[in-house]
Each structure stands twice: as C-alpha cells, then as structure tokens.
C-alpha cells in the first residue's frame, strides 16, 4: 500500500513539473510571437509613413527597420508561416484600422492545435480559434 502511494505521489509530482515546464515554454513562445507580430505591424506603418502608400510585398518591408528588428524571422514571411494581409485601403494610423487583420501565424505548435496569433490593424495581438480567424478574414477581405 505504501509503495502504491509513493508511486502515485511521484507520478503526480512529475506531471506537475512537466505541466509547469510546458506552460512556461508555451508562454514564452506566445510572448515572442506577439512581439514579432508587433514589429511586423510597426514596419507596415513605417513603410506607409515614409512612402505615402501601403506596402504590398515583403520586398517593400525590406526598406524599413524590419531588417534590423526582425532579421532572423524574415524567412517566415516568404514561407507562409506568417501570413501578411496586404489591404488595399489601409489607413495611415493604427487607430483607424482596428477592424482589419494585418497578419497571422499559421505555423508552429500553437497553430497545430487550431489556434492562431493574429495582429490587428491597431497593433493589438489576439489568440483566435481557426473558426474565428476564418470569420474575421472573411469580414476583412474587401
């Protein structure tokens, strides 16, 4: 009886430690994704402010500070892991674009579980289910 109790306590402890590790790792990954999406959004508005029109490709973003601030993640723009929506009617200020999706993440473990990080036009990030993302994209496509 004592052996079963010790085994159960040991297994519970291992599960607790594993849960804490997974939570902390996922939280750190989420913070990194949110930061990267924020940098990307800032560069979209940076390009628009400098050139008077919205960017329409990753090549346009290469003319901004993205090269310095997003340098190790730029391949994600080309691979499709981070999808950028290039809206034709993007307004100059983030406050005016809160209803628009600028980008979302499609790759990684978080997306594999059916949820995606989304960058809205007002530079806030939100964690959406695949269904809500699809509905929001349908609503933002003009």
| Residues pairing with 113 in the sheet | none
Q: Which pLDDT score, from 0 to 100, does residue 74 have?
A: 67
Name residue, tokens 């892991």: 81
Q: Residue 10: is its pLDDT beyond 90?
A: no
Q: Residue 141: is its pLDDT beyond 50?
A: no
Whole-angstrom Cα distance, residue 45 to residue 65?
Answer: 11
pLDDT tens-digit map of 70-125: 665 667 777 778 899 987 888 888 999 988 999 999 877 666 677 899 999 999 99
pLDDT tens-digit map of 20-50: 666 555 677 788 889 989 999 998 999 999 9
Count the Cβ atoms, other than its own, within 10 Å of residue 37.
Answer: 23
Q: What are phi and psi of 90, to 5 degrees?
A: -65, 125
Count of domains forming the chain: 1
Domain hosting 72: range is 2-140
Pairwise pLDDT comparison (13 vs 98), residue with the higher score? 98
């Amino acid at each position: 009886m004592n052996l079963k109790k010790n085994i159960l306590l040991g297994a519970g402890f291992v599960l607790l430690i594993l849960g804490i590790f997974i939570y902390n790792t996922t939280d750190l990954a989420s913070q990194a994704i949110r930061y990267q999406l924020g940098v990307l959004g800032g560069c979209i508005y940076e390009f628009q402010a400098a050139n008077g029109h919205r960017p329409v490709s990753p090549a346009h973003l290469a003319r901004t500070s993205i090269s310095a601030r997003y340098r190790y993640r730029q391949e994600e723009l080309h691979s499709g892991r981070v999808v950028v929506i290039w809206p034709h009617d993007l307004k100059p200020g983030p406050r005016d674009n809160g209803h628009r999706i600028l980008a979302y993440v499609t790759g990684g473990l978080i997306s594999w579980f059916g949820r995606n990080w989304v960058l809205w036009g007002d530079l806030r990030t939100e964690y959406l289910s695949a269904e809500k993302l699809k509905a929001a994209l349908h609503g933002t496509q003009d």
